[in-house]
Amino acid sequence: MSGKAIGISMNYGFPGTYARTPDDIVTSRQLKEGSHAVPFGACLMTNTDNTYSPVDGTFTAARFGGVALRIVKQAVSYADQNETAYNAGEMVSAINRGAVVVKCNSGTPTAGGKVYVRIQANASVVGGVVGGFEAAADGENTVELTNVQWTNGYVDANGIAEITILTRLNA
């Protein structure tokens, strides 16, 4: 996503950025060894060994660990300096309560609307990303986060929107 701001409206920011403060709770846990990299703004799931993992087919709303926050971090690829992520074994800062900017991969958010996380790929959902946030249910391929809602329903040209995590599920 480019950093341009020319046009008729401003972009909402970058996935994983704090949207509003001070009602934020952030925790840090290690990204489980053997996990693939987790990009900023991705959904995280908690594990019984006090680690986070990227979302996969075993994800349930009860395992929601928060959203991977954007922090000052070195790029993971020389060729693409915008490519940043948490790697296995690193400490991940995750927002557990508060507002955060994420990419809406499918559907149209509405203020106070339901937020879903994709747990399985579906070729018929263009742009659907496992671990990504969506505003439309896709049967057993998505899980509804009962403690999260779309903040205002606005989406910028890059698909960036804001969610609010109402309650903290996992400390």
pTM of the model: 0.86
**Composition of the chain by helix, strand, coil, percent to 5:** 5, 40, 55
Confidence of residue 105 (pLDDT cuts 50, 70, 90): very high
Per-residue pLDDT averaged across 86-105, rounded? 94
Q: Distance between CA atoms of 93 and 144, rounded to whole angstroms?
A: 22
Give percent of the chain with pLDDT exceeding 70: 85
**Segment 116-132, tens digit of pLDDT:** 999 999 999 988 999 99
Please give the mean pLDDT across all residues of the chain. 88
Confidence category of residue 147, pLDDT binned at 50, 70, 90: very high
Closest CA to 20 of 72, 84, 112, 97: 97
- Which tens digits make up the pLDDT trace of 28-44? 999 999 999 999 999 99
Q: Are 69 and 40 in contact (CB under 8 A)?
A: yes
DSSP β-ladder status, 64-68 and 160-165: unpaired
d(CA 67, CA 63): 12
**Dist. CA 154–CA 111, nearest whole Å:** 8
- The span from the CA of 95 to the CA of 44, in Å, is 10
As a whole number, mean pLDDT of residues 135-162 equals 94
pLDDT at 41: 94
- Res 60 pLDDT > 60: yes
pLDDT for 14:
75
Q: Could you give the domains of the chain?
A: 18-165 (2.40.300)
